[in-house]
Structures are given as C-alpha cells and as structure tokens.
Amino acid sequence: MSCLRHAHVTLEQLVAGRCPACLYCQRGASRKPIPRGPKRCRMEWKCSGWEIGGKIRHPENPMIRFVLRGVAAAAICVCSLFGGPSSTAPSAQTPAAGPRAPVHARQVRRLLIKDAMVIPGTATPAYGPVDILAEDGLIARIGNAASEHWPDADMVIDAAGKYVMPGIVNTHMHWHEERVGPLPIQYERNLYLASGVTTAREVGGTFEKTNQWRADSAAHRIVAPRIVNYPMVANLLAKDEAFSRTPAEYRTLVRRAKERGADGVKLIGPMDRDQAAAALDEARRQGLPTTVHIAVGEATARDFVDLGVNCIEHFYGIADASLDGIQDFPPEMNYANEIHRFGRAGELYIQHNFDRAKLTKLLEDMVAKGVAWSPTMSTYEAARDLVRAQNLPWYRDYLHPAVEEYYKPSMTRHGTFWIGWTATQEARWRRNYRVWMDALREFGLKGGTITIGDDAGYLYGSLYGFGTIRELELHEEAGFHPLEVLRHANADGAKVLGLQDRVGRVRQGFIADLLVVNGNPLENLHVLNPYGTDLMSYNGPIINNYSGVVKPGDASVKSVHGGGIEWTIKDGIPYHVPTLMKEVKELVEKARAERARQTTSSR
C-alpha cells in the first residue's frame, strides 16, 4: 500500500495519515515538493493526497478521498489485530481520538499545547493559561493561538487544568542491560521517559554502546531520553589492558575519552592527590568537563575543588573534608566489605570531629569556583528505612525480576549490604541525612548549583525513574521550595551539562522538552510519579486537602488515585506516559512468566 503520488510510502505511514517523502506533502500543501529525509521525491506536480494529523483529503476527486479514508481505516484495524510497532522507534501506538489528537511517539512538524499553566523551570512562579507551539522540535511561540493567528498545528494536546514544565535533566544515572539476569534496555528507557526525564547523563557504562544510543536517541531511532555520556576512566580500557593507576595512565585515558567522543569524564575514588591532579589537568587541556565520586582516599572534596573539578556526586568527600582529622574507623573496618563501607558511610556527617566551619568554607569555595553538587539522596534512602524501600507499591506491576533479584541481600553485589541491617544503623543514617540535607541547603542558599540524579538500579527503593521523582521530594525535605526543587531538575541540570541555552526552560527558541502533568507539582511533587498518587476529590473535582470547603464528615469528599505525567515531550515528539507504563508492565509480566517457567523446569 502506498501514497498515490509517492510509491515508496509504507502502510505504517499510510496509517499515520501522511506521506513523509517531502515537506510540502507532509504539510498537505499543493506546491512543488521539497526533498525530506533520505529519499528524494522527484514528483514535480501537486501532492494533495495527504494532510498531516491523520486527515486524508483529495479535493479534486471526492471518490478517491472516500476510498483513501476506507483504506486507512482498514489499515488501522489490521494494525490493531496483529500488533503495531514496538517502542524501538517513534511510531503511532495510541489511536487518535480526532484528526489532530496527539499520538504516542509520532513526530510532526507542529505540536500545539493548549490552555496550560506553565512552570518556567527557573524558580519563578507559574503563569497561564497559555498556549505553546512546538515547531520542528523547538518552542516557537508562547501565547494565545487563536488571537495571535498561529499556523495550524498537526497535533493538539489539551492541557486545560494541567501544568506544563520543562523535561527533567537527570545528571546521574546508568544504563543497565544486566542485573541478575538480562534486563531489556527499553524497560529502563520507558521508565525514565515516564518519569519525565528527557535528558540523562550516564556516568559509567559500556562506552561505545552508550555512544551509539546517544546517536540513536538524537536521530529518534529509539524511544529514549537524550543521552549525555560521561564514562568512568576504567570504561575506556581495552580488554585485558593493564591499569596501574599512575598519573600518566590517567592522562592517557582522559585523552582517549576525548578522541572517542565522550561528553565529559567521571572520576571515581579512592584517588591520591597526584592522580586527581593529573586527570583533572588533562581534562582541562582536552576541554572535557568532569565529575567525581569521591571515595575514602587521600584526595577529598577539598582537593578536587582546589584542582578544578566541575561537579561532585553523592556526599562522600564533602563530609571527609569537613573533619578535624579522619573518620573514627573501628579496628575491624574492611573497606572491601559493602556492609562495613555503607554502614560507616552513614556516620560521616555525625562524627565527633565534624567541623561545621570547615564545611562552610568548603561550600563557599565550591560556589566561588562553580563546582556543582549532584547529591543523589534517593539512592541511599533504604539505609535509613529498609522495610519501606522493600515494599513500595509500584513494585507489584513494574519491578522487573532481574532488578528484584539484584536488590536482595548479597555479600558480592554492589550496594546490596542488607544482611543483618540493624535499627541502630538506620538511626545513624537518619541522623546523617539531617546533616547532609542541612549542608545541601546551606550550599543552595550560598548560590551553589544543585542537580537531580537517582543512580538507580543498585539499592532497594531507587528504581529507574521512580528514584528521580523521589529525589525531588527529598530536596523539598531538605528545605527547598518546590520552585527551587524544579529548578534543580531543569535549569540547573542543563547548566551543569553545558546545555543551558537549549534545554531546562519553557522559553521560545529552546528545545521542546516538556512535561504535561495531571496536577500541580508545586502543590504536590507526588503528582510527577508515574504510578500516580492519592488525591482528594470534592463532588468530582480534585481539591487541596487544606481547603476550607471541606467539613468534618462531609460525604462529598473522596480519596481518589490520580496525578502522573500525561505526556513527556522530547524534541517536540509526544510520548504518552500511560502507553509507556503499559509496555513496562508487559515486559515485567513476560519476564516473570519466563522466570517461573525456568524455576519449574529446573525442579
């Protein structure tokens, strides 16, 4: 089946209601076509068989128009019966309710979002309702489409009663294809998109594969967030290549990162000062930004800040640099033992020799030198409340068995240190969190740049995407206003990745990375959770539970489940979050069935 004018158009493109061969054909204009994409349309005559958005017309011949509508309807039925395309590339998956209704993963020239309340992403208040026009992947207009006579859109999202904010920039994550058993990469991609992540910085993974995914995402060949690649230097070693960690070897690996197309470099401790100095100096020479996971080593945050690192991950190193002396490790401490390492890490900020004046000076120097902080509080939260982290409600439908097995206590897997985890250890971690949060708040008040990262897939509780939203909630717990929290996720994250002139704001000329949210995240950050949240309704509409309208015993009040992001828009392409989560659930069900079959057959 093909377009009457362009024989190379496929059935899938016919179902989409458009011929992608040329720009004017896609617009439905009766003009000489302009080449579009890898195949050039050579027809030098009118193309009037298609109009974008699924509306088929042929003004010169009503009979052809009637036949085409019938063929398209039949094609949709065929796709419905035998299954449409998967989420490996943008394609229509959610049937449109009308000629310009939004369609999951369908790329169009113009996407209109109507009647939205807008959260700019810069810690300034929301405003609206307004319309937003995305054109060719960029935010082209913000205002009133009708009164300002904007051009017709190809798709329209009705955002009345909803909030629109910039897509989230996740500055600390890892792509996993293996936990305990294989993990489909689309599982993680979908969860991040469903949680509103449109830009993801990987800080350690399979380097060449991440580079390929980065290109595929940019070209919209895969359904995934935009990818920024900061490899750990060890990721750049060839198979069986020796690495003695000399300063010269660090320089070589940093140069290799530049040659192979890295966006930046992640250093990971423990490191001695001369190693850190060599790596950071070479990165500066190569024009590569840096971030660091500081472990218990000679080089603390004080050294990395003085030597010019760009960003610090987690909390390690900052607390160490604030001690008068060193941490009070017991004689039996074994740093290679995950229980020892994580247990004692939870005591860093509550050491008897913790010097708040030293901490303040360090934070001031970080601000002065432009060093950002990506705290990743959500990834460690199980350490302060293990039972809660083991029993989150979204595990029922969305926890893949490969991740579930990884989370279980182990003496060999990174971050699974739960064997014999005690109430005292949890209490110390809770106290550690209070001081850590106070330090983060102080850093923010001094003008420091703070970002959002979840480092998911290691500890109970921090599941891909869900951990990102939990990180926002923990920033509010640390004392930040929700507007500041969203700035961390938007404008500040973009700044750290060098994308501050392209993403992180709802602003004309910026990339159309946008979230359409069912509810007001400034009132309740829970509404960003892809699982949704419990809300209060009064005679149907959702209201604030502090509302003076509500009286004790009022039968009109009900608890309802709602919220969630409705659409995650990346590069102007809308991704329907319920569709993404349906696909995740299907992946989980399939994996659970296969694991059950394997368990039964092995008995």
Average pLDDT over residues 311-317: 95
Tell me which of 376 and 49 has the higher pLDDT: 376
Span 214-261, pLDDT tens digits: 999 999 999 999 999 999 999 999 989 999 999 999 999 999 999 999
User: Residue 93's pLDDT band (boundaries 50, 70, 90)?
Assistant: very low
- The structure tokens 């060599």 sit at 278
Instruction: Please say if the pLDDT value at position 55 is more than 80.
Output: no
**What residue ranges do the domains of the chain occupy?**
11-82, 169-503
- Please give the Cα distance from 110 to 102 (Å, whole number): 11
Average pLDDT over residues 471-487: 98
Backbone torsion region of residue 150, taken as left when φ is above 0, otherwise alpha when ψ lies between -120 and 50, otherwise beta: beta
**Structure-block tokens of residue 222:** 């895969």
pLDDT at 291: 98
pLDDT at 599: 80
Q: What global pTM score does this model have?
A: 0.84
Instruction: Please say if the pLDDT value at position 495 is more than 90.
Output: yes
pLDDT at 603: 67
The mean predicted confidence, pLDDT, of the chain is 87
At 328, which amino acid appears? D
Span 565-590, pLDDT tens digits: 999 999 999 999 999 999 999 999 99
Strand partners, 116: 130
User: Residue 98's pLDDT band (boundaries 50, 70, 90)?
Assistant: low
**Structure-block tokens of residue 509:** 């000329």
Tell me which of 54 and 303 has the higher pLDDT: 303
User: Residue 54's pLDDT band (boundaries 50, 70, 90)?
Assistant: very low
Percent of the chain with pLDDT over 90: 80
Instruction: Please say if the pLDDT value at position 26 is more than 50.
Output: no
Span 527-563, pLDDT tens digits: 999 999 999 999 999 999 998 888 898 999 999 999 9
Non-local CB neighbours of 319 within 8 Å, separated by 6+ positions: 348, 349, 351, 354, 359, 436, 439
pLDDT at 83: 37
Using a 10 angstrom Cβ sphere, with 0-12 exposed, 13-18 middle and 19 or more buried, the burial of residue 383 is: buried
- The structure tokens 């002139």 sit at 501
Rg of the chain over Cα atoms, rounded to whole angstroms, equals: 26
Instruction: Please say if the pLDDT value at position 64 is more than 50.
Output: no
User: Residue 600's pLDDT band (boundaries 50, 70, 90)?
Assistant: confident
Omega prior to 95 cis, within 30 of 0 = no
Average pLDDT over residues 126-143: 98
- Please give the Cα distance from 294 to 291 (Å, whole number): 10
**Strand-strand pairing, 163-166 and 155-158:** unpaired
pLDDT at 65: 41
For residues 516 and 523, the answer to whether their CB atoms sit within 8 Å is: no
pLDDT at 97: 58
Question: DSSP letters of 185-205?
Answer: HHHHHHHHHHTTEEEEEE-SS
**Strand-strand pairing, 155-158 and 110-118:** parallel
Instruction: Please say if the pLDDT value at position 29 is more than 70.
Output: no
- Please give the Cα distance from 150 to 406 (Å, whole number): 52
Please report, to the nearest 10 degrees, the dihedral formed by the alpha carbons of residues 148, 153, 157, 159 taken in order: 0
**Strand-strand pairing, 514-517 and 565-570:** antiparallel
CATH for 169-503 is 3.20.20.140
Span 346-367, pLDDT tens digits: 999 999 999 999 999 999 999 9
Which ranges of 298-422 would DSSP assign to H, the alpha helix? 301-307, 338-345, 356-369, 386-390, 395-398, 401-407
Average pLDDT over residues 149-172: 97
Give the single-character DSSP code of 3: -
Average pLDDT over residues 303-331: 96
3-state SS track over 391-457: CCCCHHHHCCHHHHHHHCCCCCCCCCCCCCCCHHHHHHHHHHHHHHHHHHHHHHHCCCCECECCCCC
